[in-house]
Amino acid sequence: MAAGRVLVVGGTHGNERNAPWLLEAWQRRPTLLRRSGLALELVLGNPAAHAAGVRYLDRDLNRSFVPEQLDAADPGDREQQRARDLLIRHGPRGDAPCLVVLDLHSTTAAMGNSLVVYGRRPADLALAAALQQRLGLPIYLHEHDPEQTGYLVESWPCGLVVEVGPVPQGVINATICRQSQLALEAALAVLAEARAGELGQPADLVVHRHLGSLDLPRHGDGSPAAVVHPERQHRDWRPIAAGDPLFLTAEGTTIAFHPTADQGPQPVWAVFINEAAYGEKGIALSFTRRESWPVRPQWGQALVDLARDLEEESL
Amino acid sequence: MAAGRVLVVGGTHGNERNAPWLLEAWQRRPTLLRRSGLALELVLGNPAAHAAGVRYLDRDLNRSFVPEQLDAADPGDREQQRARDLLIRHGPRGDAPCLVVLDLHSTTAAMGNSLVVYGRRPADLALAAALQQRLGLPIYLHEHDPEQTGYLVESWPCGLVVEVGPVPQGVINATICRQSQLALEAALAVLAEARAGELGQPADLVVHRHLGSLDLPRHGDGSPAAVVHPERQHRDWRPIAAGDPLFLTAEGTTIAFHPTADQGPQPVWAVFINEAAYGEKGIALSFTRRESWPVRPQWGQALVDLARDLEEESL
């Protein structure tokens, strides 16, 4: 592969303000970010939505990287155009090509400092495993959800989402910024190691594998008939067993969790509990299964092969 | 004064979802709300902004009750029209007249369950004092701020804001709902006592009297040069002394609090720290002084005089 840089994106959603604030600080004073010697492209994901202070204008930019849409003749709406522009500029064959993308997000859910991996690309898994070894970050492995596709990172050969919360939309919080920066700097250090052929990998990778999502119970008119139960609120990354409280109606009735046949009798782990932006997607929380996978040598090899072509920072 | 009801407003800001969810539940099933025998009007403050999921469409509805605007011949923008419509319908001389308004808000700041009083109207102070006696709620007394005027409650003879947080915009949180309902039910119980001439009042009222607000330090282009310091975040209602950390720059430099000459050497108490919606108003936090005032008999008399004309619920 031709040489390329690391793309660092913030503000893919225009009402998430922490990463854009960091980007601006790093642009003003590049020494504030430990780049580990790698050449970076620092890019505001959705400038128009950021300026308007909303998640998106026409559609979620982080669902707009759908290959058939990107290849279509129709220019599409503003986010579809922005997705195409980002690839023309910073895609692996773009004008300022990037090989790896780190997409910095925040959430109203209490996800802490965490990673989201889309699918099981070997280089992504190697990067996530090394990050987990360094910082202990929990990992949400998102896959096999036909309702939710077209994520930004999938359009680059390797990429992760850093997801930090809880923080309200529109709020810059110093601790959330610090966590985001820590995760990014650790990712850059891992990539620099991989580039040098010195990638460290743990024996096992712990993932929370996506099983599915659940909406709030709703009235016939679509309005919520219940809300997330207080015993679930801010309890991301924790197991839920059959019979545990899930929702609470206005009448004070608790609706308990009942696993589906697919989920089986083992506990499920909840993530993105009561994320503000997911209401419109019909997601009150998502279920995962916590699994420990042996780290395979070919994952690290894929990342090393890719990282070899990463450009160094010009000093 | 002619007879009237109690106006209960939620969703004056369209992205605050907790009170509107409660309103809908109470409209579906009136017995869910303990009305203390009083006739209520339950009203969604800004239905158009609520439908759009934004704080407001053209301007903050809770700054749109400016007497000279309300009396102007020009119909004004959408929020100015809505303010006028609310008064035509539910003002003290409206079609379905209301004498008291309880305006239910939420905030991204860690205000807990609290009250906001605008100015020093005797009936407001009596209602706030009785609520503080029952529930121990802290009270933010807002006054003398020429930058911030036109609050909804000021257009009724008596009215308070119930302000509950922290909760992100767009999120319904069961605990926030519970707190809002508790405050409202207590307010209705106080009004029913006042109507019966049996108003209880404490010896003293503790208020946090507004002194002024402070913006983030900003670069020349208006972007924030620092954020709220982690030692201030979520520390509403706590004192700040000279030299305490206030802001943190991207470089990691702490900016300390230095009281103004007006504020004097005593500590100030901070409220509405890092409220998402106040960024555009240039408010990172507001300063208050904590004061204990003897409760005056004429406050209670003013509330009793008003409450006498409150209508009973028809059963």
Is A114's pLDDT higher than 90? yes
% of chain A residues with pLDDT over 90 = 91
The answer to whether residue A315 scores a pLDDT higher than 70 is no
Please report the pLDDT score of residue B315 as a whole number: 67
- The pLDDT, as a whole number, for residue A1 is 66
What are the strands of the beta sheet with A158-165, ordered from one edge? A40-44, A5-10, A98-106, A158-165, A112-118, A139-142, A204-214, A285-294, A268-271, A239-240
B288 and B139 within one domain: no
DSSP assignment of A153-216 equals GGGSSEEEEEEEE---TT---HHHHHHHHHHHHHHHHHHHHHHTT-----SEEEEEEEEEEEPP
When scoring B28, B57, B171 by the number of chain A Cβ atoms within 10 A, the one with the most, hence best to mutate, is B171
* Three-state secondary structure call for residue B220: coil
Separation between Cα atoms, residue B86 and residue B223, nearest integer Å: 37
Please tell me whether residues A130 and A273 are part of one structural domain. Answer: no
The answer to whether A224 contacts B21, with C-beta atoms less than 8 Å apart, is: yes
The number of CA neighbours under 13 Å toward the Cβ of B183 is 33
What mean pLDDT comes out for the span A31-60? 97
Structure-token pair, residue A119: 């699918």
Distances (CA, A) of A179 to A22, A115, A164, A173: 11, 12, 7, 10
- Alpha helix ranges (H) inside B136-210: 174-195
Helix axes B297-307, B122-135, angle to 10 degrees: 100
Mutate which of A23, A181, A227, A274 to disrupt the B interface (most B C-beta within 10 Å)? Answer: A227
Tell me the pLDDT band of B213, cut-offs 50, 70 and 90.
very high
Nearest to A15 by CA among A83, A62, A81: A62
Greatest C-alpha distance within chain A:
64
- Look-up: residue for tokens 């319904």? B172
Residue A144 has a pLDDT of 84
pLDDT for B75 equals 87
The residue among A71 and B50 whose pLDDT is bigger is B50
**How many CA atoms lie within 13 Å of B2's alpha carbon, on the beta-carbon side?**
10
In a domain, B83, yes or no: yes
pLDDT at A190 over 80: yes
B94, amino acid identity: G
Q: Considering the domain boundaries, does residue A315 fall inside one?
A: no
Average pLDDT over residues A100-119: 98
Q: Within this chain, do residues B86 and B153 fall inside the same structural domain, yes or no?
A: yes
Q: Same domain for B101 and B187?
A: yes
What is the C-alpha to C-alpha distance for residues B83 and A194, in angstroms, rounded to an integer? 61
**What pLDDT was estimated at residue B314?**
84
- The reported pLDDT for the residue numbered B153 is 98
Same domain as B193, residue B265: no
Residue A226: how many other CB atoms lie within 10 Å: 22
In a domain, A312, yes or no: no
Q: What pTM did the predictor assign?
A: 0.95
Q: How confident is the model at residue B36 (pLDDT cuts 50, 70, 90)?
A: very high
Residue A288 domain-assigned (yes or no): no
- Kindly state whether residue A123 falls inside one of the protein's structural domains: yes
Q: Note down the domain range covering A242.
A: 214-283
* Inside any domain, residue A209: no
B170 shares a domain with B64: yes
Q: Based on the domain organization, do A98 and A141 belong to the same domain?
A: yes
State chain B's mean pLDDT as an integer: 96
Q: Does B227 touch chain A (CB under 8 A)?
A: yes
Residue B158 belongs to a domain: yes
Confidence of residue B1 (pLDDT cuts 50, 70, 90): low
Amino acid found at B302:
A
What tens digit of pLDDT does each residue of B276-290 get? Answer: 999 889 999 999 999
Beta bridge partners of A254: A248
Q: Is residue A69 a contact partner of residue A155, using CB atoms and an 8 Å limit?
A: no
Dist CA B121 CA B198 (whole Å): 20
Q: Determine if the peptide bond prior to A166 is cis (ω within 30°).
A: yes
Asked if B195 is an interface residue toward chain A (Cβ–Cβ < 8 A), one would say: no
Under DSSP, is residue A301 helix (H, G, I), strand (E, B) or coil? helix
Please state the domain count of chain A.
2
pLDDT tens string B243-263? 999 999 999 999 999 998 888
Phi, psi for residue B8 in degrees, rounded to 5: -115, 115
Backbone angles phi and psi of B42, in degrees to 5: -100, 115
Burial class for A93, CB neighbours closer than 10 Å (0-12, 13-18, 19+) = exposed
Residue A169 covered by a domain: yes
Count the residues in chain B. 315
Band (pLDDT 50/70/90 cuts) for residue A90 is very high
A168-A173-A178 Cα angle (round to 5): 130
CA angle B229, B231, B235 (to 5 degrees): 105
Chain A segment 110-149 residues within 8 A of B by beta carbon are none
Q: Is B286 on the interface with A (CB under 8 A)?
A: no
Q: Band of the pLDDT at B264, cuts 50, 70, 90? A: confident
Interval B180-211: pLDDT, tens: 999 999 999 999 999 999 999 999 999 999 99
B31 in reach of chain A (CB within 8 A):
no
Give me chain A's average pLDDT, please: 96
**Per the CB < 8 Å rule, is B174 touching A228?**
yes
- Do B165 and B286 fall within a single domain? no
Whether A179 and A265 map to the same domain: the answer is no
Q: Is the domain of B159 the same as that of B229?
A: no
Count of C-beta atoms within a 10 Å radius of residue B160: 25
By the 10 Å C-beta count (0-12 exposed, 13-18 middle, 19+ buried), A135 is classed as middle
Residue A303: give its domain's CATH number. Answer: 3.40.630.10
> Given CB atoms, is A174 within the 8 Å cutoff of chain B?
yes
Q: At A83, list the tokens.
A: 């997705």
Regarding whether A139 and A93 lie in a shared domain, the answer is yes
> HSE (CB half, 13 Å, CA atoms) of A113?
19
Which of A22, A169, A229 is closest, CB to CB, to B169? A169
Task: State the pLDDT at residue A4.
Answer: 97
Residue B226 pLDDT > 70: yes
Q: Which amino acid is at A28?
A: R
Choose the closest CB to A276 out of B166, B169, B223.
B169
Are B110 and B135 part of one and the same domain? yes
What CATH code is carried by the domain that includes residue B286?
A: 2.20.25.160
Exposed/middle/buried for residue A147 (C-beta within 10 Å: 0-12, 13-18, 19+): exposed
Percent helix, percent strand, percent coil in chain A, to nearest 5: 30, 25, 45
Mean pLDDT over B45-67 rounds to: 96
